[in-house]
Amino acid sequence: MLKASLGTDDFELIRKLLNQHAGLWFGADMRPVIERRLRDRIEALGLDNFTAYRRRLEEGDVIEVGEAAEVCTVNETYAFRGERQLRTFRDILLPRISGGSGREKGGIVVWSAGCATGEEAYTLGAIVLQSGLFDPSRVRIFGTDISRRCVAAARRGVYSSSSFRDQAGLAYEHFFRRQPDGSRVVVEELRAACHFRQANLLEGSAFGFINVVFCRNVLIHMDEASRRVVVQSFYERLAPGGYLVLGHSESLLKERTDFIPEEHPDDLVYRKPAVGELPSERGRGR
Ligand SMILES: C[S@@+](CC[C@H](N)C(=O)[O-])C[C@H]1O[C@@H](n2cnc3c(N)ncnc32)[C@H](O)[C@@H]1O
């Protein structure tokens, strides 16, 4: 087993490279954690110490930088996480986006950005389908993550009971069929609406206009400059009047953005102004 430890200089350089690659930011207190997470990589590559590993990253081994990001990211997630936010999505955002009753049912595009192993995307898909407000053939849920392994797991769509630790999922159980070994598999109807792709949030990834972006528990691991880049890219990809939903400990209130914060009984969401709603647009054409 590798005995070497991660010195301050190596840590500084490795965290800088991870920041440039994925926007991730690790404080000095994270050094022991990063040391633990990178140990297996160093052993797998047959290297003797962290300095040799750092050199390899510095020399431009982009695949290894990706591997380092893969092991250093936090991929914790579960289905129906954040009940209050999901209630806001179901009871307020979806009816608004659908435009109410009486019309032909339309479509919706939702993006789970930083979806980890996919539970969030399937959760959002189950809520949209169950709402009955949209034409199921026009429901698109995109899940993206920087981790290839997470995206592969999301595509498999098979989850152990720990992914269903939240009781809020009980009402949607039929979308996740129980298998003899106790695991649950996503049913075809839901699978057909959900699409997964490996993508780095710092780089562009286009799938047309989006109605709602969920990006929860991702920005909290990034530095301020990267957060700004990512939030701006959400703004550009959202349809006018579209929504951004962040995690509970993430907020845009101190940021300078054109998003309009909207306070609801259960959650704070951010809305992209509708056409003509931006202060700079008002009065145009008069
Ligand atoms: C804690 S998980 C959040 C999962 C889910 N959104 C939730 O709230 O349950 C954070 C995820 O963000 C991903 N991530 C971190 N940096 C990223 C980046 N630059 N591009 C895409 N995904 C990233 C990680 O790989 C990880 O799977």
For residues 220 and 135, state if they share a domain: yes
- Identify the pLDDT of residue 163: 95
d(CA 57, CA 47) in angstroms, rounded, equals 12
Same domain, 45 and 133: no
What residues line ligand 1, using a CB cutoff of 6 Å? 22-24, 73-77, 81, 114-116, 120, 145-147, 150, 200-202, 216-218, 221, 247
* Strands 134-145 and 194-198, sheet pairing: parallel
Do 95 and 153 lie in one domain? The reply is: yes
Domain membership flag for residue 36: yes
User: Over the Cα atoms of the chain, what is R_g?
Assistant: 21
Distance of alpha carbon 202 from alpha carbon 114, whole angstroms: 11
Task: Output the CA 217–ligand 1 centroid distance in Å.
Answer: 7
150 lies in the same domain as 248: yes
Query: pLDDT tens, 74-96?
Result: 999 999 999 999 999 999 999 99
Q: Is residue 33 part of a domain?
A: yes
Domain count, the chain: 2
103 and 56 belong to one structural domain: no
Distance between CA atoms of 160 and 39, rounded to whole angstroms? 27
Cα–chain center distance at 11? 26
Best residue among 15, 70, 73 to mutate for probing ligand 1, ranked by most atoms within 8 Å of CB: 73
The answer to whether residue 92 sits within a structural domain is yes
What is the rounded CA–CA span in Å between residue 177 and residue 185? 5
Assess if residue 107 is contained within a domain.
yes
Cα of 246 to ligand 1 centre, how many Å? Answer: 12
pLDDT in tens, 222-272: 999 999 999 999 999 999 999 999 998 898 878 889 999 999 999 999 999
42 and 161 together in one domain: no
Distances (CA, A) of 209 to 128, 197, 234, 277, 281: 17, 17, 10, 18, 20
Nearest residue CA, atom 13 of ligand 1?
114
Predicted local distance difference test score (pLDDT) of residue 154: 98
Cα 231 to ligand 1 centroid, rounded to whole Å:
14
Domain span at 123: 83-271
Query: 72, 95, 126 — which closes off a domain?
Result: 72
193 found inside a domain? yes
Whole-number Å distance, alpha carbon 109 to ligand 1 midpoint, is 19
One domain for residues 169 and 41:
no
CA distances from 138 to 66, 68, 211, 264 (A): 34, 37, 13, 27
Mutation choice for ligand 1 from 146, 148, 228, CB with most ligand atoms inside 8 A: 146
**Residue nearest atom 27 of ligand 1, based on CA coordinates:** 116
Could you tell me if residue 282 is inside a domain?
no
Asked, for residue 213, whether it belongs to a domain, the answer is: yes
User: Phi and psi for 99 in degrees, rounded to 5?
Assistant: 80, 15
Note down pLDDT in tens along the chain; length 286 residues: 777 899 999 999 999 999 999 999 999 999 999 999 999 999 999 999 999 999 999 998 999 999 999 999 999 999 999 999 999 999 999 999 998 766 789 999 999 999 999 999 999 999 999 999 999 999 999 999 999 999 999 999 999 999 999 888 889 999 999 999 999 999 999 999 999 999 999 997 677 789 999 999 999 999 999 999 999 999 999 999 999 999 988 988 788 899 999 999 999 999 999 988 876 665 554 3
> Are 67 and 108 part of one and the same domain?
no
| Residue of minimum CA distance from atom 17 in ligand 1 | 146
**Residue 253: phi, psi to the nearest 5?**
-60, -25
Among 164, 194, 166, 165, residue whose Cα is nearest residue 176: 164
Which residue lies with its CA nearest to atom 19 of ligand 1? Answer: 22
CA 285 to ligand 1 centroid distance, Å:
42
Nearest protein CA to atom 2 of ligand 1, as residue? 75
What's the half-sphere exposure (Cβ side, CA atoms, 13 Å) at 110? 28
33 alpha carbon – ligand 1 mean position (Å): 18
124 and 223 co-located in one domain: yes
The domain boundary, picked from 19, 39, 72, lies at 72
Query: Domain check: are 115 and 254 in the same one?
Result: yes
CATH code: domain of residue 55: 1.10.155.10
SS (H, E, C) the chain: CCCCCCCHHHHHHHHHHHHHHHCECCCHHHHHHHHHHHHHHHHHCCCCCHHHHHHHHHCCCHHHHHHHHHHHCCCCCCCCCCHHHHHHHHHHHHHHHHCCCCCCCEEEEEEEECCCCCHHHHHHHHHHHHHCCEEEEEEEEEEEECCHHHHHHHHHCEECHHHHCCHHHHHHHHHEEECCCCCEEECHHHHCCEEEEECCCCCCCCCCCEEEEEECCCHHHECHHHHHHHHHHHHHHEEEEEEEEECCCCCCCCCCCCCEEEECCCCEEEECCCCCCCCCCCCCCC
Q: Are residues 62 and 118 in the same domain?
A: no
28, 31, 127, 228 from 121: Cα distances, Å: 33, 32, 10, 23
Task: Please indicate, yes or no, if residue 15 is contained in any of the structural domains.
Answer: yes
The reply to whether 123 and 13 lie within a common domain is no
